[in-house]
Amino acid sequence: MDGPATVQAGMAFDVRRDLTVMLDYKHICSARSHRSPTQRPTPCRSAAITGPGFGLKDLDVYKLGVEWRASPKLTLRAGYSYNSAPLESRDADLNIMTLGIVQHHITGGFKLAVLDSMDVEFAAMYAPRASLSGPELFNPGRTVDISLSQVEFTVGAVWRFAGSDRWSR
């Protein structure tokens, strides 16, 4: 499977000394393995591409993030991401295993300095349930229904060794 080409740009604005707002845009081009038999060529897909693939469309992803440095020891983070619909109903059957249908992601987290040389970080992500229905590939009289919601948690520790820069504070 070929990974899709991507183009991405972002900006960060310090609204206040303790508050940063980040904006990000990413365009994801469908790769050869993501093409559906019924898709037409686009600027990201050539007419020479063959094979059934998964039918993923080119995606535009928009992200907004906020970081508030509440104190020298505590940083709070929140974000939201939206992407254009990755699939059409005709490709539901091809994506039973990939389930690449979510469009919204909501995130939050924090960084806490527990020692002069160590931070603990926590992040959470929630993607609300998304559903897609379409005809079964080899039996168009039957319908395939797929749905997905996601929850993710990440916990980490950052340890700075002697002589390292303390730029993150």
48 has pLDDT over 50: no
Q: Are strands 74-83 and 59-69 parallel, antiparallel or unpaired?
A: antiparallel
Q: Is the pTM of this model over 0.95?
A: no
| Pairs from 13-20 (Cβ < 8 Å, separation ≥ 24) | 18/68, 18/69, 18/70, 19/66, 19/67, 19/68, 19/69, 20/66, 20/67
Q: CB 109: neighbour CB atoms within 10 A?
A: 19
The span from the CA of 108 to the CA of 99, in Å, is 23
In this predicted structure, what is the pLDDT of residue 114? 94
The span from the CA of 128 to the CA of 87, in Å, is 17
Q: Which residues pair with 125 in a beta bridge?
A: 107, 152
12 has pLDDT over 50: yes
Q: How confident is the model at residue 99 (pLDDT cuts 50, 70, 90)?
A: low
User: Nearest 5°: CA angle at 151, between 99 and 97?
Assistant: 15
Spans of all domains in the chain: 6-40+48-159
**Per-residue pLDDT reduced to its tens digit, 107-152:** 999 999 999 899 999 999 999 998 888 888 778 788 888 888 999 9
The span from the CA of 66 to the CA of 78, in Å, is 5
